[in-house]
């Protein structure tokens, strides 16, 4: 699926726009648990016109905007009328917004609005949004030239944390689909993305006698100039209906963003301190670490810098391919589990530290899959 379509000029993935029913709960989570700073809030005029109240939580180069409805008729209210809490927009910064707009329009992308230009005492901001092949999630493209505010109508705010856990960037976004082929073709032919990585497996692979299980096919598309990566999952047979990808789609009531991966400087220190702060993670079985030395040798990594017993204690996953090139990762519990509220939705965060590897950890995919399968089963959802 190598793309012959030129990229649209993405510089980076700036952040996500997350629609929630309880903004105070989100504020407590991001500032109190993850130690993000609250950097922007929606001003009164924006709240009146947009019919939603928003706050931006920032750490490193990551911006998470959470919005909750104020009355009826706004985007947040429309999204939440159809779904539990979830990601409604992925925001990209681009080099030349007129060129991005022209290329997307020429290739048949569905543009929601013309380029909107805003100014403040620092400069200009130009932006526009498009629909995507997955549900009610849109993509927004922005070009900044000295513009100080995060977006028009945002009022600077100082509060919250100091990023003591060392969050840096959004590494990738992953979305779940009933069928992902339309998204793959759209990424290739509209955005100029290329296929980077793929894996497929099923939890019955290790025990064909099982009467239930969960499988997926995953393909990562990326924008080589910027390094932006967008992973795509679909359920796999047999037991398609009980696949956790399908369960996610049923719980979200449509295709949508499953998780966002955020990089940290030192994952072991971050996870130790996040656990102490009360953050809950997907559990990893001890058997994963019993088999880890053999997996590390078979993978070609050769050796790692970390102590396996420390990885076991913190339940951090490791995967890689060759020559001391690997990555460490862990997954927070789904929002519904974090908050004990089904309306918080099935979205979750991943924390990742890359040590040379650009991959996505096929072995860890399986470990995560089995972990989510156990959690869903405990909750009576599988």
Which token pair is 208?
Answer: 């064909």
Task: Let me know: does 53 contact 23? Beta carbons within 8 Å.
Answer: yes
pLDDT in tens, the chain (382 residues): 444 899 999 999 999 999 999 999 999 999 999 999 999 999 999 999 999 999 999 999 999 999 999 999 999 999 999 999 999 999 999 999 999 999 999 999 999 999 999 999 999 999 999 999 998 999 999 999 999 999 999 999 998 889 999 999 999 999 999 999 999 999 999 999 999 988 887 766 656 776 776 778 899 999 999 999 999 999 988 778 888 889 999 999 999 999 999 999 999 999 999 999 999 999 887 878 887 888 888 777 878 899 999 999 999 999 887 667 889 999 999 999 999 999 999 999 999 999 988 777 666 666 666 666 666 566 665 5
pLDDT value for 381: 56
Q: Which helix (H) or strand (E) holds 97?
A: helix 97-106
pLDDT value for 109: 97
Task: Report the distance separating Cα 346 and Cα 366, nearest Å.
Answer: 18
pLDDT value for 284: 84
pLDDT value for 289: 86
Is-above-0.75 flag for pTM?
yes
Which token pair is 123?
Answer: 């400069």
361: burial class by Cβ within 10 Å (0-12, 13-18, 19+)?
buried
Backbone region of residue 313 per phi and psi (left: phi > 0; alpha: psi in -120 to 50; beta: other values): alpha
Residue 238: asked if its preceding bond is cis (omega within 30°), the reply is yes
pLDDT value for 2: 46
Per-residue b or e along 118-136, where b marks 16 or more CB atoms closer than 10 Å to that residue's CB: eeeeeeebbbbbbebbbbb
Write the DSSP string, 155-202.
EEEEEE---TT-EEEEEEEEEE-SS-HHHHHHHHHTT--EEEEEEEEE
pLDDT value for 362: 64
Gap between the terminal Cα atoms of the chain: 34
pLDDT value for 203: 66
pLDDT value for 63: 97
Upper half-sphere CA count for residue 241 (Cβ side, 13 Å): 0
71 three-state secondary structure = coil
Cα separations in angstroms, 173 against 15, 141, 163, 169:
10, 16, 21, 11
Which token pair is 293?
Answer: 């030395």
* Cα 189-76-35 angle, rounded to 5 deg: 90
Measured on CA atoms in the order 112, 176, 170, 103, is the torsion positive or negative?
A: negative
Task: Let me know: does 169 contact 14? Beta carbons within 8 Å.
Answer: no
* Cα 142-146-149 angle, rounded to 5 deg: 70
């Amino acid at each position: 699926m190598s793309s012959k379509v030129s990229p649209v000029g993405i510089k980076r993935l700036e952040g996500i726009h997350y629609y929630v029913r309880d903004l105070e709960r989100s504020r407590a989570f991001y500032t109190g648990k993850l130690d993000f700073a609250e950097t922007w809030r929606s001003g009164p005029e924006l709240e009146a016109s947009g019919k939603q109240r928003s706050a931006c939580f920032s750490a490193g180069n990551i911006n998470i905007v959470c919005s909750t409805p104020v009355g009826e008729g706004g985007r947040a209210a429309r999204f939440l009328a159809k779904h539990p809490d979830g990601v409604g927009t992925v925001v990209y910064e681009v080099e030349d917004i007129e060129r991005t707009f022209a290329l997307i329009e020429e290739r048949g992308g569905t543009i929601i609005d013309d380029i909107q230009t805003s100014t403040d005492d620092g400069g200009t901001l130009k932006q526009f949004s498009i629909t995507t092949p997955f549900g009610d999630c849109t993509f927004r493209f922005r070009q900044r030239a000295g513009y100080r505010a995060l977006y028009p109508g945002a009022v600077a705010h100082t509060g919250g944390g100091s990023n003591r856990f060392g969050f840096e960037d959004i590494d990738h976004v992953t979305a779940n689909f009933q069928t992902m082929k339309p998204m793959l073709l759209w990424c290739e032919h509209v955005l100029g993305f290329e296929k980077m990585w793929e894996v497929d497996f099923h939890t019955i692979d290790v025990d064909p006698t099982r009467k239930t299980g969960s499988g997926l096919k995953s393909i990562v598309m990326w924008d080589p100039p910027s390094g932006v990566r967008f992973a795509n999952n679909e359920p796999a047979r047999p037991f398609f209906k009980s696949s956790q990808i399908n369960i996610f789609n049923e719980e979200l009531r449509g295709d949508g963003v499953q998780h966002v991966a955020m990089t940290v400087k030192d994952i072991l220190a971050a996870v130790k301190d996040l656990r102490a702060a009360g953050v809950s993670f997907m559990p990893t079985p001890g058997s994963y670490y019993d088999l880890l030395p053999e997996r590390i040798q078979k993978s070609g990594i050769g050796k790692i810098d970390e102590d396996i017993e420390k990885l076991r204690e913190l339940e951090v996953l490791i995967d890689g391919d060759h020559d001391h090139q690997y990555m460490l990762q862990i997954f927070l519990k789904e929002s519904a589990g974090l908050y004990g509220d089904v309306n918080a939705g099935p979205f979750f965060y991943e924390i990742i530290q890359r040590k040379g590897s650009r991959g996505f950890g096929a072995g860890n995919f399986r470990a995560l899959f089995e972990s989510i399968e156990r959690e869903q089963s405990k909750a009576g959802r599988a």
